[in-house]
Amino acid sequence: MKVRHAVHKDIPKIAEIHVKSWQTTYQGIISQEYLDGLNVEKREESWRSRSLEGTFVVEDADGVFGFASFGKQRDERYLTYDGELYAIYLLQQKQKSGAGLALIAEGVDYLIEKGYQNMLLWVLEQNSAKRFYQKLQPAFVVTSQFELAGENHDEIGYGWELPVLNDHIQRIKSSASNNDERRR
């Protein structure tokens, strides 16, 4: 498994992962009609219209199977947070493989390198991935609501100071590595 900066040739796969991940992750949370209407070609067009700065992909021998995108925090309500994890998606069959943590580690390094001090992310309250973020021990938690496809949804904002999050990620990776060594 390897994490690297996304390049333009990755856009079709990023778009496919984006759509497939929404369709599996948000089934039963967001209206099925909305999920069925998601279109890889339109998502690809959207990705082509933006910079890939701060976007990383994770790949293995089968190719790219996940991505994450980081940058300047966009929510004016929480200006003490300067960085943000905008999106992180993995194909369902590759989840719980360590790839999510690897993507976040790369993004945290990127944000630190760019001079950011902290990071905020938003996750739907009903999304089981919130347990993954909770294991990263956020220092800040807030709830909010937003509207999508005519429905209101609860979301959770998690925030971290980047050096603290970076240290925590390194401890998790070290612990996982030690567990792998014991199994051998």
Amino acid identity, residue 98?
A: G
Q: What is the pLDDT along the chain (184 residues), one digit of tens a residue?
A: 999 999 999 999 999 999 999 999 999 999 999 999 999 999 999 999 999 999 999 999 999 999 999 999 999 999 999 999 999 999 999 998 999 999 999 999 999 999 999 999 999 999 988 999 999 999 988 999 999 988 999 999 999 999 999 999 999 888 876 655 555 5
Query: What is the predicted pLDDT for the residue at 68?
Result: 98
* Alpha carbons 73 and 140: distance in angstroms, whole number: 15
Query: What is the predicted pLDDT for the residue at 17?
Result: 98
* Alpha carbons 20 and 158: distance in angstroms, whole number: 24
* Alpha carbons 122 and 127: distance in angstroms, whole number: 11
* Alpha carbons 76 and 96: distance in angstroms, whole number: 33
Please answer whether residues 61 and 41 qualify as being in contact, where contact means their C-beta atoms are separated by less than 8 angstroms: no
* Alpha carbons 113 and 116: distance in angstroms, whole number: 7
Q: Which CATH number fits the domain that encloses residue 32?
A: 3.40.630.30
Query: What is the predicted pLDDT for the residue at 175?
Result: 81
Structural domains in the chain (count): 1
Measured at the alpha carbon of residue 51, what is the angle toward residues 14 and 145, in degrees to the nearest 5?
70
Give the CA distances from residue 112 to residues 91, 150, 169, in Å, rounded to whole numbers and listed in that order.
27, 37, 14
Q: Please count the CA atoms within 13 angstroms of the CA of 174 that sit on its side-chain side.
A: 6
Could you tell me the residue range of the domain that residue 118 belongs to?
A: 2-182
